Each structure stands twice: as structure tokens, then as C-alpha cells.
Structure 1
Amino acid sequence: MTPFGAKNFLAALSVTTLLAGCGNNDAEQPWVAYHEKLATDLNISSIERSSPRNIGAFPDRQNRQIDVPEMRESMLNIYALRECQITSLVAARNNQLGRVAPPSQQWLYERTLWQRLSGCWKSEAVSELSDENRARLETLTLQKTAQLPAVSWNAIFESSEWEKSFSRASQPLSSGGVADLSQHLASIEYLHQMVVNQFSLEWQQDSSTLEHHLKTLQERPLTGELLRTLLLAEQRLSEANIVLSEQALSTDTCLSSWEATWLTTLEQQAEQWLIAVNQLIDTHDVSPPEAVVEYQNTWLSLSNPSAPWQQFQTTKTTHNQLRSRFPVCSIT
């Protein structure tokens, strides 16, 4: 093998090793190409690269849930409120299948129960109840009203579908980004509307619609993918910044133009998604568990300087400033 051929072989081998180590070749390819172009412009052999860090572990289920005390009421007392049409609803909840229902189905039950209790309290049916049963209805309605925000929180944050969106086993997105982010944003928006309208007697929840949107969230670990995309971008830009800052300015050094529209697409999708996820978390009228607060601030925040989004923004700004020191190479 000629010396020139050996040099190219070793360079290709190092790139292949890097791509294999980072897990997603499609995500790395544009960065490898950019680093190679930058190294050529700066007349250096290569830009040293290393694997980016991973995202933190999503809190365990027990650390995400809000405790909702179980209310115990005899079926005899429930039957006394049969004018409120809650007897069959409570009986279904108390059977074996009802007790092991997933959080989303528990929310459907609790909200339907709240709607019927509240509707009954505001209807003429309340006048037909005895003083004792009227007091019981008032107590149940107030208790369920107080508990519903926590139940709404648990319906989302206890679910396995939500947890899978934050998987650490995810990979950075390829340069094309998410083919259709709108479907995933629509699912987040439905959950947001579910919370906003939890105390509306007019807004009607639908089991199949809710499960459809949760299934959409389960299809891919999108939050994890977008966060790891930001971490990869921040890492590769930081590595480029090192060589740019070390390079002495000279009249014969110029940089090839860099039209990274693919990076703009990934950035826009990450921002859209993080805004939607943070809005969903913040909409809940509860005090979130400390583990969720910490995770949100560390990984999802758009304002925390140490979170992936701001780290990427800062590094990108520095990169553009460093590039601006060099003239753009003219096309001959």
C-alpha cells in the first residue's frame, strides 16, 4: 500500500470507528463531514472528537407520582346517591379489572365521577336528597375536586408511555430530523387540553382518543432523541471551537461557507418539543414531585444555562463568532 493510500485508509478507519462508537451513523455523518472540511480549511490533520454524554435517567415511577388517598365509602351510601348516576360507575371501579386499570383509565374514571357529582350538586336532584345524603354529596364533591389535579398528573406522569419518551437508550436524530413532528405535538396538545379542561362540565374526554395519543408518545423516545441530538451538536461544535480559537489569523486562511440547514431544522424541532413538554408540566395545578422538578430543570429547561438547550445555544453562538474572524473562501 502506498504511503498516500495508507494515510487515507487510516483516516477512513478513524472516522468509521467514531461513527460505530456513537451509535447512529446518520446523526454523525454531517458532523464528520463538517469537521473534515474545517480541518482542510485550517490546514490541520483532523479535529479530535469524543462521544457526547448521555441524558440523565428519568425518575422512577414512585418518584413521579403524587399520592392520592383512597376514599372509602360503602356501596350502601353510594346507592343513596343513585340520583347522581354514580352507582354503576363506582361498582365498575371497585371490581378486579377496575383496581388494576392503568393511570390513564383511572383518570377517565375519576373525571367522570367528578363530572357526575358536580353536575348532580348543581341540579334539582340535590333537593330530593335527605340532609345526610346532601352533606355526603357535598363532601364527596369537594374531596374529588381537590384530588382531580393530582389524578390528572398521575394519569400522564405515571404512564409507561410517557416514561418511554425519555429513554436513555435513545439515539441522536439523523440530519433529517423527525419526519412528522406534528403528530407528536398533537398528542402533547391533547394531554395539555385534558389538564386545562379537567374542571369543565362541557369538555368530554374520550378513552380511545386518549389511548391513541399515549400510544403515539410510546412509538419512539422522542424527548430522549431530541435531547441527545442537542448534546451531540453541542459536543461537535465545542470541538470545532477549540481548533478555531487556537488557529492564528493569517491572510491566506479562509473558511468554506457552511449552510447547515439540517442543523436549523433539528434546532427548531427541539425547541418546539421542549416548549410543548414544559408547558404540559407547568399547566398542572399541583406541586410536582422534587425528582420531576430536578429533571425538568436539568434536562428540559429552556432557560437554565446548564441544561442542553442553553448549552447548545451558547456553544453555537461562540462558534459563529469564531467563524466570523475568518473570511469566507471565494469560489474559483
Structure 2
Amino acid sequence: MKTTLTVVLASVFSNAAFGQIGINTAVPIASLDIVAKRSDGSTAEGVLPPRLSGDEIKAADLQYTESHAGTIIYASAAVRVPSSKTVNITATGLYYYDGKMWQRMLPGDPRKMHPQSAGDIKNSVQPSDHNGWYLLNGRSVSSLPLPAQNSAAGLGFTTSLPDAADRVLKTRNGAELLGSHGGNNTMTITRSNLPDINLTGVVSGTAESAGEHTHGSGEGGFLLGGTDVGNNGSGHYQGNNESSSWGGVGLMSSTATSGAHIHALSGIATVPTGGIGASMDNRSAYLVVNTFIYLGE
């Protein structure tokens, strides 16, 4: 063991001066070239990165800066209360530091070479949770597996997941909270929403007046025929004290209290539009899918 270590160190230091380091090889072909010591299966070969729990990685948050981008660590356990840098450490596995936070190396299906991070959103026709993706249906965070609970808490969802049912997704504007709801699926038109137009309709009613009343003349009087009212009592008009033979013509300053007559109609007519105040659906044509959030496997 001591001899092997001496050989390895000698190899490292001898090649360091030339800018390349070889382990188990005297002719490295890269900055660090590691060659398997044996290939017969008698030894465990490979590179073993530092192994730390999620909480231990979190404890060193201040030590990792942008200059540490590319650092690789094996997380032996998920972080219990994640920080902004460790929010993606939701399960055991290899993680790399991207300069701002730890990212899992190829989570999900590695065949697709498509890594996911906690908080990623997707739409799918999958009916339920799968491969670390959780349906956004407003459920309680406490109903999720513990790693998913920790991941959700790191994203700010401590009580319940957002409910994406019957909603479209929009980008945050200003100080809006991620995961908050807004808007309405329906709207009701009020009188102020109607266009400024005149509605026409048929007004039905009567132009007659009930009850006894009289009408006065504007000036002069009303001429009457076949009466001795307003004359000298003999059927002759004596308006100027001179006799005439007008045959029962008289004069009155107002009409009698009853009689056939008409009135001009003046007023405000209410014409209903026929509406019943029903709400309108303001959604465009749509395809129904489910919305999921990635909280880790």
C-alpha cells in the first residue's frame, strides 16, 4: 500500500511540471488522466467524489461562489430544509455546482439527456404524479413524500401546491408571487359594459285621461254650437251687446269636466333587452391537459 502510494505520488509530481497529471499512467493525455489499475475485476475502479449529506452541503453555502462552477459532489441524503443553493438536492445522487446552485446530474430519464430542476413546470396528458413530477391540483404539501415536501418548501410552497385546474400560465409581472392565482374564467356584462346605442321598441298604452278635469283656453275662449251658454239666452251671440242671428253659438273660457278628448304622450319608456344577466365564458378554444411541477425523485 505504501509502495503504491509512493508510485502514484511520484507520477503526479513528475507530470505536474508539464501541466498534466496522470494516475496509473506515465503519459497522461489530458489535464487529469486516470487509468484503471486493473481490468480483471479484482479491484473496484472509478473516481469517487466527496460524499456529503444535503445538510452538510448546505452548511458550506458561503464557501461556494461562481468560481466553483463545475464542482461535483455525491449527496448521500436529501437536504431537510433547503436553501436557495440546495433546493434541488431532493434525493441521493451526483450533483454539480453551476455557479449559483447545485443541480442534479441527469435526473429523470437519463436516456433523454434532459435534466430537470425543482420548480420546472410541464404540461402532460399523464393522469397522475410520475418520476418526480407532481400534479398541481392544490393538494396539501404535507401529503407529499418528505423529499418532495422539502423541495416544495424551498420553492415557497409550505402549505399547499398551487391549483392549476382551469387556469392558463402567465409570467410573473413585478412583485407578483410565484404560484399565486388571479383573473376570472367568466365575466358578467353590466349596464356600463353595453355600447352607447339607443334601443327601439313598441310602447303600448293609452292616451286618454281618467277623472273629471277641464282644459282652459290660451286666449279668447272655446266656441260652442247649439247652446244658449255664453250668449243672451235666446240662442244668439251677444258678445258686444248687439243682436246677431248665429243660431245657438256660445263662448266658454274652459271645457266641460268630461267629454271625448286625447292627450299627447310624453315620458320615458323602459324597453327590456331580453337578457337575464348570464355570465359569459371568456376562454378561447382549448385542449385539456394536466400541469405538473418537478419536485425531485
Which has a greater percent of strand? 2
Higher relative contact order (CA 8 A, sep 6+): 1
Q: TM-score, normalised by structure 1?
A: 0.18
By percentage of residues, which structure has more helix? 1
Instruction: State the structure with more CA Rg.
Output: 2
Q: TM-score, normalised by structure 2?
A: 0.20
